[in-house]
């Protein structure tokens, strides 16, 4: 991961943590992962970049996409060619 990282702050009511039964750190990770999944779904970032945003491996990211109803087959032609070469 790159060292040139930015911080995004999101305001939310404290009750959301109670409703979700999550800690602030768990909620932050959930928001990062959901954003990564959505940006990937929209074709704005690659699966590798999305995994980096989520803070997990690419394989782990692809495995959790179903949780967000996002197809893993949303990969670019270039990514598919790389995956085929690495198989």
Q: Which band of pLDDT confidence, cut at 50, 70 and 90, is reported for residue 78?
A: confident
Contact 47, 62 (CB under 8 A): yes
What are the sequence ranges of the domains in the chain?
19-86
For residue range 28-48, what is the model confidence (pLDDT) as tens digits? 999 999 999 999 999 999 999
Q: Give CA separation, 16 vs 9, 24, 32, 34, in Å.
A: 16, 10, 16, 16
Question: pTM (2 decimals)?
Answer: 0.76
């Amino acid at each position: 991961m790159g060292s040139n990282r930015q911080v995004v702050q999101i305001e939310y009511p404290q009750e959301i943590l109670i409703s979700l039964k999550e800690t602030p750190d768990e909620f932050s990770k959930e928001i990062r992962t959901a954003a990564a999944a959505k940006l990937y779904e929209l074709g704005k970032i690659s699966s590798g970049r999305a995994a980096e945003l989520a803070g997990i491996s690419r394989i782990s990211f692809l495995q959790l996409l179903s949780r967000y109803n996002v197809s893993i087959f949303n990969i670019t032609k270039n990514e598919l060619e790389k995956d085929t070469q690495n198989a």
